[in-house]
Structure 1
Amino acid sequence: MRGRRDMRVGFIGLGSQGAPMARRIAEAGYGTTLWARRTATLEPFADTGAKTAGSPAELAAASDVVCLCVVDDADVEQLTTGGDSVLAGMRRGGVLVVHSTVHPETCRRLEERARVQRVSVLDAPVSGGGRAAEQGTLLVMAGGDPQVFAFCRPLFATYGDPVVHLGPLGSGQVAKLLNNVLFTAHLGLAANALELGSRLGLDTEGLGRLLPRGSAASFALERVVDAGGTLQRVGAHAGGLLAKDVRLFTSLVEALGVDGEDQPDPVREAALLTLRAMGR
């Protein structure tokens, strides 16, 4: 199967990251249908030619591929179960793409329900934020059937670069959770380094200009510097989502028995310390 521009795409989840993703899909020439709980969320798309649906089921009935970019597992479950849901409207041969960051088991349960209707499921969480979505440079981490992924890849490429297939369904979620746990740990290390520099008598503002340009540079360090050198503003903006993802990763590791007393997990421990410093 090859991706085609006559593919009809439905998109739900028009937040700070999802909205520019949906815009890039529409502007790339794909027939696009949108649904949102709040009609105000749809107003910025008036100039794109994207259509709007009255319900998730109506959106799905008008789409070959439906992309979900909502907050958490509960949102995905709500949108895909019930008489007015996405699955209720999808036709045989359709593809449901979970761009949300959720537990891999949520995707597997969804696949079991979708299989009854001959609908395929891909998990393809994204990373990079709204600016990367606007620029088409989101990291897309995908799991699922390789042929279905190949079919959707041209669509993913409208907002993602690189777009990487990592294995069976759920693989994208595992990669995204690893990414976010490591990012959370990096945030804590960056804040600690800046605090230590201040205690040693260094000018914090100057240090914040210097470190991001050297071998210590990281995306997390830049976020902490932009937030004034501490975790408070970062925690207020992203702490809730990071805490969700660290909890999901912890449950995944514990279920698989990967972590143990003889194999300490310094990355996860550092992430938990960061969340504690954020008050999470």
Structure 2
Amino acid sequence: MSAVGFVGAGRMGAPMVERLVQAGHEVRVLGRSAEKRSAIAGLGATAVATTAEVSDGADVVIVCVFTDDQVAELCLDGDLVTSMSAGATLVLHTTGSPRTAQSVAEKFPHVAVVDAPVSGGPHDIAAGNVTLFVGGAQDVLARIRPVLGAYGDPILHAGDTGAGQLVKLVNNTMFAAQIGLVVEGVRLGARFGVDEGALLNALTHGSAQSRALSMIASAGSAETFISRVGEFIGKDVAVVRRTVADLGGTLGDLQPLVNAVAP
């Protein structure tokens, strides 16, 4: 079993921590307030008050915060990585720019940096079957697979550090475009006088079926679905746009569909 440090025990991170503890790993989690530390203790992990305590002696340090800027603040500007032991592994689950993971790897060569953005939600993590797109050396992934396997399945190696983020950004772009396609289909149906609920239910049984369509149909309407997940989709689309621009590309023909979801 491994000594694991963890930052970001929120909506996505909390079930990860719980699964890690259940798998027998020794888990220390950052909790900056008494309330957070109490919640962490409830997960069966050890709560610590500083990032240096999170990483001190850890074999693997996992970061699961909300934004790429928070990752940069923790890993490039803070003491989280400087406190890690030589040969330890830093895992970044936050969806962000591949350049962030690569910059951390360049700045701190004493640790192995793995970017492993997730595809799925808290319920998938709790069930142990959230998808992980992993960028990093294959031997490093082999070494930490028992840790990631506590909640990740499948664990998909995408290439070198940063490649996991690139795969996730393509995934998120396509998902947003698929939602946008359903939105346009609903608008078309409305012009023809077709009830949205009936349309969505029917389409899930036709060749137009997709995971995005099923999720929207379950929500009852495109508007309801977007209102529930809009914050997360908007964040991911913003990362996509910024990263694509940084890499000198465009979203091409996907742009209008993405705009329908995140203007």
**TM-score in same-fold range (> 0.5):** yes
Out of 58, 80, 83, the residue aligned to residue 86 of structure 1 is 80
Question: Are 1:111 and 2:98 an aligned pair?
Answer: no
Secondary structure of the 1:87 match is coil
- Distance change >3 Å, CA 49–CA 130, structure 1 → 2: closer
Q: For the aligned residues, what is the CA RMSD?
A: 2.1
Distance, in Å, in 2 between the alignment partners of 1:47 and 1:15 is: 13
Task: Note the residue ranges of structure 1 that are not aligned, 5 or more in a row.
Answer: none
Q: CA deviation at 1:52?
A: 1.1
Where do 1:231-242 residues align within 5 Å?
Answer: 231=223, 233-242=224-233
Where do 1:1-280 residues align within 5 Å?
Answer: 5=1, 7-82=2-77, 85-115=79-109, 118-231=110-223, 233-259=224-250, 265-276=252-263
Relative to structure 2, which stretch is displaced further, 205-214 or 9-18? 205-214
Deviations 1:21-58 (A, max 9, x none): 11111111111111133443443443443111111111
CA contact (8 A) 1:33 1:62 kept: no
Q: CA deviation at 1:94?
A: 0.8
Deviations 1:136-190 (A, max 9, x none): 1111000011111111112111111111011011000001111111111111111
Q: Which amino acid aligns with 2:237?
A: V
Distance, in Å, in 2 between the alignment partners of 1:213 and 1:41 is: 45
- Distance change >3 Å, CA 41–CA 217, structure 1 → 2: farther
Relative to structure 2, which stretch is displaced further, 47-56 or 10-19? 47-56
Task: Note the residue ranges of structure 2 that are not aligned, 5 or more in a row.
Answer: none
CA contact (8 A) 2:82 2:108 kept: no
Q: CA deviation at 1:241?
A: 3.3
Relative to structure 2, which stretch is displaced further, 152-161 or 217-226? 217-226
- Distance change >3 Å, CA 41–CA 194, structure 1 → 2: farther
Relative to structure 2, which stretch is displaced further, 242-251 or 183-192? 242-251
Q: CA deviation at 1:114?
A: 1.6
Secondary structure of the 1:185 match is helix
Question: Scaled by the length of structure 2, what TM-score is found?
Answer: 0.91
